[in-house]
Structure 1
Amino acid sequence: MEYIGYVNTAYYIEQLEAFVLSMKQMPCSFIYYDEKGNGQRQNWKLFISSLNSNDTAVLVSFDNAFCNFNEMMFFLKLCASKNIRIISLKDSLDTSDVFFPKVSTQNTLNVIASMTVTKGQAAFDDFQAELLSDKFHEKKLKKYRMVINMYNAGYSIKEIMSRTGYHGKSNIYRILHMFNVELEYPTMVRSKQPGVGVIMRNL
C-alpha cells in the first residue's frame, strides 16, 4: 500500500517543483521521472509495472501523464482491476475523495475531456477515427442487410444494384456468399430463331 509518483518533465516545467514537493510530503516511496527527450518513456513503463494492488498512483495531471486516450483508458482499467487509488494533483482528483472531497463528478469528466484536447489534435483524432470507423462499419452492415433482404424477397440482381449503389454483379454475389445465403442461380432458357441460336437468362 505505497504511494508511487510519476512526473513527465516535458510539461508544466514551472510548476513541477511544487508538484514534486507535494508528492514527497504524501509521502511517495518513489517518484518516476521521464525527461523531455525520452520518447520511449521507459520510466512510465517502470511506474506502471511497479504498481501493486491497493497502492496509490500519484500524477501531476492526466495530460502530463498520458500521451493519448487509449493510454489513459489502459491506466484506468489497470487501476480498477488492482484497486489502485489515483491522485492527480493539478486536476484536483482523488478516487478516494480524501484530498479533494468537494470535487464533483462533472470535474472528473471535464478532466478526461480536456486531456484529449490539450494533448494535441492527434490524441483527439485517434478517438474520433475510432468513432468514424465504427459508424462506417455500421453503415456497411446496413447495406449488406439490404442486399440480403432484397435478394430473399425476390428482387433481381440489377434491382439490388440500383437500390444499394453497388457496381457489378460480383459485389452482390460476394456479399451473399459472405453471409452463406443460399443462391438461386439464373435459369437457362433457349429460344430458336431462324439461323440464330439465342441463350436468354432470367435475372
Structure 2
Amino acid sequence: MAKVGYIMATSQYDKLEEDRKWMNDFGCVRIVEENDEDERNRPLWKQLMVALQRGDELVISKFSNALRGSRELATFLELCRVKVIRIVSIHDQIDSRNELFPETRPSDVLEMMGALPEEVLPLRKSAEHVVNLQEKMIVSLPPVSSAKMQKLDREKTVINLYVAGHPIDEVWRASGFRSRSSVFRILNKHGIKLNRGNHSGPIKRKGISDNPQDKE
C-alpha cells in the first residue's frame, strides 16, 4: 500500500507549494508533477495509472486539476473501483474512504462532477497559451535541419509512449523504425529504465539486424 500525489503543475496554478506540503504531510512517498507542455497528453498521469497497485492511495489537488473532462472521470473512477484505490481530492474535500472531510455531502460530490468541464477549460487554455508562447520563441534559435528535427520527434515519441506504459511492440510500430533494437537503443540513450516484464535490454527479433547503425 503506497500513498502517491499528483499535481498538474501549470505555470498558472497558484497552489503548488500548498499542495506539495499537504501531500508530504499526508505521507505521500512520491509526488508526480506534470507541466504545461504535457497538459494535453499527460504521460506521467498515464504512467501513474499503470503503476498504481491494489490498495494504493492517490492524492490529487482537485479533480479538475488531474482530469481533462467527464469521460476521463468515468474511466478513472472505474479504474480506482477495480483496483480498490483510495482517492483523496484536497480542494474538492473528497475522500473515497470517508475518513477525511466529514462535512462533505453527496450534493458536494455531484456539484464537483457537474462543474468539472467548466473548471477544466481554463486550465487547458492556460497551458496551451504557455506552450504557444514557448514555440514562438523558438524562431530566435539557430535553425535545425528537418532530418534532425524528425529524428528528435521520433525519439520523443518512443520515450513518451514507453513511459506512458505502452507495450514495446506498440512503441516499435509507432516509431517507424525497422528493428525493435532501435527502440531500446533510444531508451538506453536517454537513461529510461527498462521495466517491461523481465526485459532489461533489446529483444532480438529473428531475421532482423540488431546493428545500431540500422537505417531509421
Q: Considering the TM-score relative to the shorter chain, is it more than 0.5?
A: yes
> What secondary structure, in the 3-state scheme, does the structure 2 residue paired with 1:120 have?
helix
| Displaced runs of 4 or more, over 6 A | none
Counterparts of 1:103 and 1:14, CA distance in 2: 24
The CA deviation string for residues 165-195 of structure 1, in whole angstroms up to 9 with x for no partner, is xxxxxxxxxxxxxxxxxxxxxxxxxxxxxxx
Ranges in structure 1 where 5+ consecutive residues have no aligned partner: 124-203
Ranges in structure 2 where 5+ consecutive residues have no aligned partner: 125-216
Alignment: residue pair count: 122
Are the aligned partners of 2:54 and 2:84 in contact in 1 as well (CA < 8 Å)?
yes
Q: What pairs with 1:10-159 in structure 2 (closer than 5 Å)?
A: 10=10, 13-38=13-38, 39-120=40-121
Tell me: CA distance 1:103–1:11, structure 2 relative to 1, closer, same or farther (3 Å).
farther
Q: Which has the bigger relative contact order, CA under 8 A and spacing at least 6?
A: 2
Please tell me whether Structure 1 or Structure 2 has the larger radius of gyration of its CA atoms: 1
**Which amino acid letter does the alignment assign opposite residue 35 of structure 2?**
E
TM-score by length of structure 1 reads 0.57
**Which amino acid letter does the alignment assign opposite residue 64 of structure 2?**
D
Counterparts of 2:55 and 2:68, CA distance in 1: 25
> What secondary structure, in the 3-state scheme, does the structure 2 residue paired with 1:115 have?
helix
Are the aligned partners of 2:3 and 2:59 in contact in 1 as well (CA < 8 Å)?
yes
Tell me: CA distance 1:72–1:12, structure 2 relative to 1, closer, same or farther (3 Å).
farther
* C-alpha RMSD over aligned residues: 1.8
User: Which is strand-richer, 1 or 2?
Assistant: 1
TM-score by length of structure 2 reads 0.54
